[in-house]
Amino acid sequence: MEFFNTHISQKSIELVKSVLDSGWLSEGKLVKEFESELEKRLGLAKPVTVNSGTSALHLGLVLLGVGPGDEVILPAQTFVSTGLVILMQNATTVFADIDPLTGNISPSSIVEKITPRTKAIMPVHWGGYPCDMDEINAIASKHGIAVIEDAAHALGATYKSKPIGTISRFTAFSFQAIKHLTTGDGGALCCTNEEDTKEAIVRRWFGIDRANSRPSILGEREYDITGVGYKYHLNDLAAAVGLGNLADFPQRLARRQQIGAVYRQQLANVPGIELLRAADDRTHAYWLFTMLVERRENFIRKLAEHNVPASVVHLRIDHNSVFGGLHYELTGQAEFNARQVSIPVHENLSDVEVDAVVKLIRAGW
Ligand SMILES: Cc1ncc(COP(=O)(O)O)c(C=O)c1O
């Protein structure tokens, strides 16, 4: 059994072949089509595709003008890229605590961490379960700061009936190889404000405004770069993979949610397991099925003996030297870090396999 699956549909293979046959590999009409299909099918706010989730997060900080001396609040329960993009702008990472029953940043801890230098909050929807976005955005608007959601795990999740990717000023998605929608590597930045969307399109391609610059007779576009830009665009080859995979994304997401529901029901009263919270006002994208488990190493070992992989996926990132090498005093984070573990929840699992995972866990470890 695999812990993650990389889904490549037949349609993706056909589209990739057609891109290769066409000879146009760079950003072109498939990128445009992928963006408009993401918007149409998943209801995302004007997705601007880029070459990774990390690029999408970084672009959000660039558009906000985050720089030296600025502070950005984030949870330590994430992958290092959420913190590294802050350092790329020479700004300071400020780690807030999480709710140990979700793995998501705690709004009350955010309030404690705000200073006059705070420029942004970067909530991470751990495993695909949406953060408390109303509370977080209320704090942000009260203090005049922006929210950049790290939705690398949360494509397809909803909060109060709104798709993640339509709520805050910025939302970053990842289409990396093991994400539930992959382009090989890739990502998207969704902006709720039109000016940000336009600027994101310019900055993802060296800062050159392609829509308003025509090649002269000499053969190069006439342009004036007014701000630092990046080579962050997606290419048509990657967009072809994504477009093909988008067709059956709703069904694959529904299957993950179905497996998640079975686990929640079947594992609810197992001694040594505490399930995470699942509020009625949001839906989970189930990139991960994370639980709090006693004697975690024994649990992982027992499952491995039966070829069922289990993993913490990411442990807290704040101790890395690059972030100052400290374990911040974060009690919810410490509790989550000590007990969290995830089991396979991807759509390739058969009912027989899901049942086998449940039986194995219920038998104890
Ligand atoms: C929480 C989180 N944020 C950001 C990223 C970065 O995404 P990418 O690998 O597409 O750059 C990841 C990657 O796995 C992630 O798990």
**Predicted confidence (pLDDT) per residue in 271-318, tens digit:** 999 999 999 999 999 999 999 999 999 999 999 999 999 999 999 999
Mean pLDDT of 239-244: 98
Q: Are 72 and 122 in contact (CB under 8 A)?
A: yes
When pLDDT is cut at 50, 70 and 90, the band that residue 351 belongs to is: very high
pLDDT at 214: 87
What residue has token string 């919270």?
277
Ligand 1 center to residue 155 CA distance, Å? Answer: 12
Ligand 1 center to residue 271 CA distance, Å? Answer: 33
- Closest by CA to 34, choosing from 58, 60, 5, 11, is 11
When pLDDT is cut at 50, 70 and 90, the band that residue 344 belongs to is: very high
Residue 94 clears pLDDT 90, i.e. is over it = yes
pLDDT at 328: 81
Percent over 70 (pLDDT), the chain: 100
Strand partners, 292: 274, 340
When pLDDT is cut at 50, 70 and 90, the band that residue 326 belongs to is: confident
pLDDT at 264: 98
Backbone angles phi, psi at 193, to 5 degrees: -115, 130
Ligand 1 center to residue 362 CA distance, Å? Answer: 32
Any idea of the CA torsion for 247, 250, 255, 260, to the nearest 10 degrees? Answer: 140
pLDDT at 211: 86
Ligand 1 center to residue 329 CA distance, Å? Answer: 25
- Site to probe by mutation for ligand 1, drawn from 72, 79, 93 as the one with most ligand atoms within 8 Å of Cβ, is 79
Q: Give ligand 1 pocket residues (Cβ under 6 A).
A: 52-54, 78-79, 81-82, 124, 150, 152-153, 174, 176, 187
3-state secondary structure of 292: strand
pLDDT at 116: 98
Mean pLDDT of 96-110: 98
Percent over 90 (pLDDT), the chain: 96
Mean pLDDT of 339-353: 98
pLDDT at 336: 98
Residue 16 is encoded by which pair of tokens?
Answer: 């990739």
Calculate the average pLDDT of the chain: 97
Ligand 1 center to residue 7 CA distance, Å? Answer: 17
- Site to probe by mutation for ligand 1, drawn from 105, 148, 176 as the one with most ligand atoms within 8 Å of Cβ, is 176
Cα separation, 47 vs 113, in Å, equals 30
Domains in the chain with CATH codes: 10-246 (3.40.640.10), 249-362 (3.90.1150.10)
Ligand 1 center to residue 359 CA distance, Å? Answer: 32
Mean pLDDT of 188-212: 96
Q: Where are the beta strands (DSSP E) in the chain?
A: 48-50, 71-75, 92-96, 118-121, 146-150, 158-159, 162-163, 170-174, 187-191, 273-275, 282-283, 289-293, 340-343
pTM over 0.85: yes
- Closest atom, ligand 1, to C-alpha of 126: 1
60 contacts: CB under 8 Å, gap ≥ 6: 120, 148, 170, 172, 189
Q: What are the pLDDT digits (tens) for 156-198?
A: 999 999 999 999 999 999 999 999 999 999 999 999 999 999 9
Residue 339 clears pLDDT 80, i.e. is over it = yes
Residue 7 clears pLDDT 80, i.e. is over it = yes
Residue 83 clears pLDDT 80, i.e. is over it = yes
Q: What are the pLDDT digits (tens) for 8-64?
A: 999 999 999 999 999 999 999 999 999 999 999 999 999 999 999 999 999 999 999
pLDDT at 327: 75
